[in-house]
Amino acid sequence: MPLDTSPLLAQLASIVGDAGLITGDAMSPLATDVYRRLEMPLAVVRPQSVEALQALVRATAAAGVALSVRGGGASYTDGYVPRDTGQVLVDLSRLNRIVAINEEDAFVTVEAGVTWAELKAALDARGLRTPFWGPFSGLLATVGGSVSQNSISHGSGAYGISAESVLSVDVVTADGGLLSTGSAAVGSSPFSRHYGPDFTGLFTGDCGALGIKARVTLALQRRRAAHRPISFAFPDFDHLHEAMRLVAFERLDESGFALDGALSQGQIARQDRAGAQLGMALSILRSSPSLASGIVQLGKAALSARRDLGSAPYMVHYIVEGVDDGEVKGRLNRMRELLGPLGREIPGTVPAVVRSMPFAPFYNTLGPVGERWVPVHGVLPHSATKPFDKALAAFLAERSTEMKRLGVWTGTMFSVPNASGFLYEIAIYWPDVITDYHRQVVPADYLEKLPTYPESLEARAYVQQLKTDLAALYGRFGAIHYQIGKAYPYRDRLSDPAGGLLHSLKAHLDPQGRISPGVLGL
């Protein structure tokens, strides 16, 4: 860290303007992720153009200062959280222009700080979409952040994770240069990802370790005209897993996810507190294929959603799309054929709500009664998923007394990002004080209805150890991770020559290790 930082701060202010430079306590919510804060940075800078981003990277490089990179800030893996006070945190939320919507060549280029909600609004107006169209956090989560950590959710059943929808990226390297991938690497438009080795793929899922994405180009396609929700309940995990595997194997859904009983119960408590029932009902009506079926859906929801959500050990929720209602019904019938022997169909209230409000306010960053929340995930081969589930049950049983004493509890969420992998996500909750991050992102009227808890350093330390132990458990079953950040081992798990290749790439793009130090274990 330089002894006198004021010349650097003055230089950064001249690049991003006074409004783009934040110092002091105001940095706290930006330097804290959903899970925690490590250290406060030297400053937060918010460039408004790619040129300003390049200029600030050059200025910090000349001063020997490292950078961390924040998109929407909706992650929980320490990825953008500075781990020492000498760093500058680059916040890309003002780099948020939609650069080009090219329907003829089927691509859309955005600056990295565009949120998924902003992109959806721009494309909806033209009847267009990207194949993957955002995580549930898309109200704040950015295209650059999600592509950097292989996000999943909307569109993933049909089109896979965020990385699979990317054609090209423009990346600012550690020396302030701009590197373009795919067809754009030879000066053409970014219409094609594949031209020689897949350079675009080097930067998807890098969590920012290899450079700062300034622009991202995604594939574009027409929206499908018809969709319907469908849900099933299962008596145990094995039946749920088999059902999700079969649906993914035939790529029947547009998107889908499953919850265990603990998380489903939590959703009910949350809706009551948010006073969202009316809003939910109205949005179901708006999202339904027709008003009539919307009313039927509402009636069903009122009568049975509570009973079903409250009682089933496991539930899966799908949105199914088609060019018309006939195609959708054909897919639903095939799902019923496959899933009927494994579980029972229940009203599709939850997926209808998700479809009508795909990017919900950030209620879920806290537990149903205001507890702290951090998810831990792994993507397992299907063949290892049921054995993992049993090992996890034993793992939690061994710790149940201590978890109960500290008020720590877990729930689970599942999805199938592609036919060969199963995403098993464990949400950990514990009683503790909320942070500046929560005060910034959780709607104030919701926050004030929640119980509060005193600081619990003991529960916090227990959760940190639990995360580490769970990552090791995932590793024993061959799991990989999408959102790696600084939270999961990566570099140390790579065998050579892959590990050596990663080091060479980092050394080439960022020889001094100044971009996102610690991310991916680099």
Residues near ligand FAD, by CB under 6 A: 34, 69-75, 79-80, 92, 112, 135-137, 141-142, 144-146, 148-149, 151-153, 207-208, 212-213, 362, 364-365, 483, 485, 516, 519
308/315 Cα distance (integer angstroms): 9
Q: What is the DSSP letter of 385?
A: H
CB contact set of 405 (below 8 Å; sequence gap of 6+) = none
Q: How many residues does this entry show for the chain?
A: 522
Residue 226 Cα distances to 33, 95, 328, 461, angstroms:
37, 34, 7, 48
106/125 Cα distance (integer angstroms): 16
Q: Which is nearer to ligand FAD, 47 or 343 (CB)?
A: 47
To ligand FAD, the closest distance from the beta carbon of 296 in angstroms equals 28
Q: Pick the closest to residue 175 from 67, 83, 87 (CA basis).
A: 67
Residue 137 Cα distances to 125, 153, 278, 320, angstroms:
21, 10, 22, 21
To ligand FAD, the closest distance from the beta carbon of 382 in angstroms equals 19
Q: Which is nearer to ligand FAD, 152 or 220 (CB)?
A: 152
To ligand FAD, the closest distance from the beta carbon of 297 in angstroms equals 23
- CB-CB neighbours of 337 under 10 Å: 10
To ligand FAD, the closest distance from the beta carbon of 512 in angstroms equals 17
Q: Which is nearer to ligand FAD, 312 or 520 (CB)?
A: 520
Q: Which is nearer to ligand FAD, 204 or 297 (CB)?
A: 204
To ligand FAD, the closest distance from the beta carbon of 185 in angstroms equals 18
Question: Per the structure block, which two tokens stand in for 483?
Answer: 């959102």
Q: Which is nearer to ligand FAD, 226 or 505 (CB)?
A: 505
467/305 Cα distance (integer angstroms): 33
Q: Which is nearer to ligand FAD, 137 or 297 (CB)?
A: 137
Under 8 Å between Cβ of 43 and 86: no
To ligand FAD, the closest distance from the beta carbon of 78 in angstroms equals 8
247/318 Cα distance (integer angstroms): 10
To ligand FAD, the closest distance from the beta carbon of 402 in angstroms equals 27
Q: Which is nearer to ligand FAD, 428 or 519 (CB)?
A: 519
